[in-house]
Amino acid sequence: MSERITWTLVDGENIDATLGGSILGRRPQPDERPRWDRLLTFLEERWHQDVRGLFFLNATTHLPMPFVQALLALGYTPVPLSGPAEAKVVDLAIQRTLQALQGRDADVVLVSHDRDFVDDLAALTGAGRRVGMLGFHEFRSGEFASVPGIEFFDLEYDVHAFDAVLPRVRVIPIEEFDPAQFLG
């Protein structure tokens, strides 16, 4: 492992809303939820350096202590936030964190699909810094594709963060096509 670290910023609200609302169309079952420890392991192995995970939570109405305790056990630092109902506290905190990372010699991975982070993530690219974006490819804002220097990872296909196969439709590179998957 190198001495350099990767800061991983997880937009828990965004991933949860995408999974439940756009992919499953319902509340996920336990085996359909991401195994967040796999994400940290994937990034450590991929970039050969320590990874520190910050998991941003909107705790305006309540703090989900069992989930917070699970995150701590997995090596994440929970970042519970509160604010007025109209404030996007998680987005604001992630934007401020991305801006603060501009002055640090570290790599960054953002776990979200939200276009609100395009400018702040773009400001981190270059100068030898690795910048990644992790989520579900088909739901990521297309604006990230125009930012050179971002490496993209899929939470299901690259990280293998799920115990169940999610009902997603994806474009299959011909070298990966297996007719048996469709012929049952």
- pLDDT 10s digits, 103-114: 999 999 999 999
Phi and psi torsions of 56, nearest 5°: -85, 130
Phi and psi torsions of 81, nearest 5°: -125, 155
Predicted TM-score (pTM) of this structure: 0.91
pLDDT of residue 147: 94
For residue 137, pLDDT beyond 70: yes
Domain limits at 131? 2-183
Q: How many structural domains compose the chain?
A: 1
User: Which of 33, 29, 30 has the alpha carbon at shortest distance from 15?
Assistant: 33
Class of residue 65 by CB neighbours under 10 A (exposed 0-12, middle 13-18, buried 19+): exposed
Summarize the confidence of residues 156-166 as an average pLDDT: 93
For residue 169, pLDDT beyond 70: yes
Which contiguous run of DSSP H or E holds residue 107? Answer: strand 107-111
Pairing of strands 150-154, 131-135: parallel
pLDDT tens track for 73-115: 999 999 999 999 899 999 999 999 999 999 999 999 999 999 9
Residue 136 is part of a domain; what is its CATH number?
3.40.50.1010
